[in-house]
Copies of this chain bind each other. A is one copy, B any other.
Amino acid sequence: MRARTFTESGRRAQIVRAAIEVIAEAGYAKASFSRIAKHAGLSSTGMISYHFAGKDDLLAVCVTEIEKITGAFMGPRIDAAVGHVAQLRAYVESNVALVGEHPAEVRALIDLVKNAGSQSASVNGRIALFEEHFRTGQAAGVFGRFDPRTAALAFTTGLDAVVAIAAAAVPEPAELTRIGRELADLYVRATAPETTGEPA
């Protein structure tokens, strides 16, 4: 019954878009209201304060917006994978591939995650998702024995770093694919069950 959709009102969407682009281009630290307003073609920062409760609010909406986009890209690819291992690989590879499609959004999101840090539900959500994925996979016997939390932490951030470097200077699609597979290989191997060395 609410009139407003998620980002809407035109103005809101416009501001969110500008904020994302500014963060992608100039970095989180430089993403001031005035810079965002200028980028959006607004004459005043008051406009932003009017539409958002504060800077945190705007940034949170940016995160949500970007996640909607990334989710649309990665979600189907992950869902298409069958089994814990394949899904892990799909997550990593599709995340790296995403750079080719939405470099600005990826750059912005990583910067937001780095700076909003542990306050963000979505950041912790992703770690928790990995952790849970590892845990259930271990229960199913498709992952080896390791601390799911430590692995989740190390792998999500490692993934972000690789993606950030790629996003900074987007390489050829083929190279992106290679990098994604390389990283997925590493993670898959790290989490593989112990080979008990059984013969044929």
The residues of A with any CB-CB pair to B shorter than 8 Å are 29, 114-115, 118, 144, 146-147, 150-151, 153-162, 165, 168, 178-179, 182-183, 185-187, 189-192, 195, 197-200
Contact = CB atoms under 8 A, between A and B. Distances in A.
Contacts of A195: 195, 197
Q: How many copies does the complex hold?
A: 4
Given A156-B161, A157-B158, 11 more contacts: A29-B115, A118-B168, A147-B182, A150-B179, A150-B186, A153-B162, A154-B161, A154-B183, A157-B161, A189-B191, A197-B199
Interface-central residue, A29, A118, A168, A186, by most chain B CB under 10 Å: A186
A12 B193 CA distance: 52
A35 B118 CA distance: 23
Interface-central residue, A144, A147, A187, by most chain B CB under 10 Å: A147
A40 B162 CA distance: 38
Given A157-B158, A157-B161, A146 B186 contact: yes
Nearest to A195: B195
Contacts of A192: 189
Nearest to A187: B190
